[in-house]
């Protein structure tokens, strides 16, 4: 968590690449100064719209495309 209370959480893949899932995105949205809560369906749609900037590295887990 940053000094301003915004929560940014990632995990790491076997190759050391930062990865995240929808739960981590939701936690980030809820930690913003003006909390933003969305459904899993909305998060999935948003992630799909961001491809090819994001890559699904395993089911439900994403990383920034290299």
The 10s digit of each residue's pLDDT in 48-61 is 899 889 999 989 89
Phi, psi (rounded to 5 degrees) for 12: -130, 135
For residue 21, the model assigns a pLDDT of 93
Structure tokens that stand for 15 in this block: 């190759």
Task: Say if CB 43 and CB 53 are below 8 A apart.
Answer: no
- The answer to the question of residue 1 being in a domain is no
Predicted confidence (pLDDT) at residue 1 exceeds the cutoff of 60: no
The 10s digit of each residue's pLDDT in 6-42 is 888 899 988 999 999 999 999 999 999 999 889 989 9
For residue 2, the model assigns a pLDDT of 61
- The answer to the question of residue 59 being in a domain is yes
- The answer to the question of residue 6 being in a domain is no
Q: Is 44 exposed, middle or buried (0-12, 13-18, 19+ CB in 10 A)?
A: middle
What pTM, to 2 d.p., does this model score?
A: 0.77
Domain count, the chain: 1
CA distance 49 to 33: 25
Query: Bridge-partner residues for 18, per DSSP?
Result: 12
Give the domain extent around 20: 11-64
- The answer to the question of residue 20 being in a domain is yes
């Amino acid at each position: 968590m940053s000094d301003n209370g915004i929560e940014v959480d990632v995990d790491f893949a076997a190759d050391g690449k930062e990865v995240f899932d929808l739960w981590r995105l939701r936690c980030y949205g809820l930690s913003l100064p003006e909390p933003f809560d969305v459904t899993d369906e909305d998060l999935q749609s948003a992630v799909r719209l961001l491809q090819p900037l994001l890559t699904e590295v395993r089911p439900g887990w994403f990383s920034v495309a290299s």
